[in-house]
């Protein structure tokens, strides 16, 4: 009998895909999400409907859903107590760099208090592996590329990035104190079907289809490591199977200054390619057979010019190799978008 696995953020973009793949592989999934209104709640409910229908088939695992905030420590404690699982995938968080500038309290509550509550439950129930989402945002204004897990992440330029860095530090403390195996995944611009409407791939697709202008920041001098959702979920599920036994988030585990007995790691999940935003838009235009109306504006507060993942460590761990070309990934996104939104 396969394990029960808790996935928080199960109504979100990445959480939905992780749940779907786990169910298809025969795992029983306990999903948790607060269904907040940061973006369209109907999209979140539609994702949950897919998971519920999928779990009704006899070929895969079951899906059980709880509406819950991570900040609600009493309800969270009850979910842990009444559902037997030994692995946790934490993808619940208040997302968005720009939103954090005007709504800092939401990030402090969800990403710090909520994550602290989750760590406490993992400690009490002796969870065998906690895998949680960090972000490429922790690299801040680093100019050395590609970004490596060994690079300094002491200079966040948004509150969102600061909370993700704090999550890594909190996880390290619990791994050190209580020997909880934790894996933090630094994600790089994930895109694909069922994606987040507040991110550029979905925003641009919607605007171009509706003949509305798109804002292009830093006059187009922006570069992103676009990573297709299927490559990300495949990596997450493979990493979940191999909890860390030693601290090995750096490329030199023999470093005598570190306590290497701590079951803790940090891993980049990216595409190992940095794409100019203008090239990304051009592919969108080609696939939509329609030109975008472009408005060039200055760089936004808290944003970074370039992201680019060094994926040598994850290749070493799980033989990871992202296999979805950008053109193919964008085509899949557009096909889903037109079907879902009835274009």
Distance CA 252, CA 239 (A): 20
Q: What does the alpha-carbon distance between residue 278 and residue 269 come to, in Å, rounded to a whole number?
A: 23
Tell me how far apart the alpha carbons of residues 208 and 277 are, in angstroms, rounded to a whole number. Answer: 15
Q: Which residues are catalytic?
A: 160
Q: State the alpha helices, DSSP H only, in 158-227.
A: 159-178, 200-209
User: Which of 259, 267, 221 lies closest to 242, judged by CA?
Assistant: 267
Q: What phi and psi, each to the nearest 5 degrees, are found at residue 234?
A: -60, -45
Q: Which residues pair with 294 in a beta bridge?
A: 214
Q: What is the 8-class DSSP label of residue 309?
A: B
- Measure the CA–CA gap between 216 and 161, rounded to whole angstroms: 22
Please choose, from the candidates 82, 311, 291, 343, the residue with its C-alpha nearest in 3D space to the C-alpha of residue 187. 311
Token pair for 64: 């059980």
Instruction: Determine how β-strand 223-224 pairs with β-strand 275-276.
Output: antiparallel
């Amino acid at each position: 009998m396969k394990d029960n696995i808790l996935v928080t953020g199960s109504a979100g973009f990445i959480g939905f895909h992780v749940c779907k793949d786990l169910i298809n592989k025969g795992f029983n999934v306990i999903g948790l999400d607060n269904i907040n209104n940061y973006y369209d709640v109907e999209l979140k409910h539609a994702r949950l409907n897919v998971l519920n229908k999928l779990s009704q088939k006899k070929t895969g695992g079951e899906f059980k859903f709880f509406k819950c905030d991570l900040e609600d420590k009493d309800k969270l404690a009850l979910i842990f107590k009444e559902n037997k699982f030994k692995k946790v995938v934490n993808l619940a968080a208040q997302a968005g760099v720009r939103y954090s500038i005007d709504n800092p309290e939401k990030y402090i509550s969800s990403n710090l208090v909520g994550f602290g509550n989750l760590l406490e439950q993992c400690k009490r129930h002796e969870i065998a592996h906690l895998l949680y989402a960090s972000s490429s945002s922790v690299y801040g204004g680093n100019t050395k590329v590609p970004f490596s897990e060994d690079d300094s992440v002491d200079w966040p330029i948004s509150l969102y990035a600061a909370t993700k860095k704090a999550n890594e530090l909190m996880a390290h403390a619990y791994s050190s104190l209580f020997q909880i195996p934790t894996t933090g995944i630094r994600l790089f611009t994930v895109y694909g079907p069922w994606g987040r409407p507040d991110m550029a791939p979905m925003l641009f697709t919607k605007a171009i289809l509706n003949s509305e202008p798109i804002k292009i920041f830093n006059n187009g001098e922006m570069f992103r490591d676009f990573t297709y959702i299927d490559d990300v979920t495949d990596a997450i599920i493979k990493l979940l199977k191999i909890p860390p036994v030693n601290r090995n988030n750096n490329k030199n585990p023999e470093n005598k200054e570190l306590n290497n007995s701590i079951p803790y790691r940090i891993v980049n999940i990216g595409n190992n390619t940095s794409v100019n935003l203008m090239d990304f838009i051009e592919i969108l235009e080609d696939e939509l057979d329609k030109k975008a109306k472009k408005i060039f504006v200055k760089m936004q507060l808290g944003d970074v010019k370039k992201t680019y993942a060094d994926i040598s460590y994850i290749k070493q761990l799980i033989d990871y190799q992202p296999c979805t070309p950008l053109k193919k990934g964008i085509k899949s996104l557009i096909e889903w978008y037109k079907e879902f939104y009835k274009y």
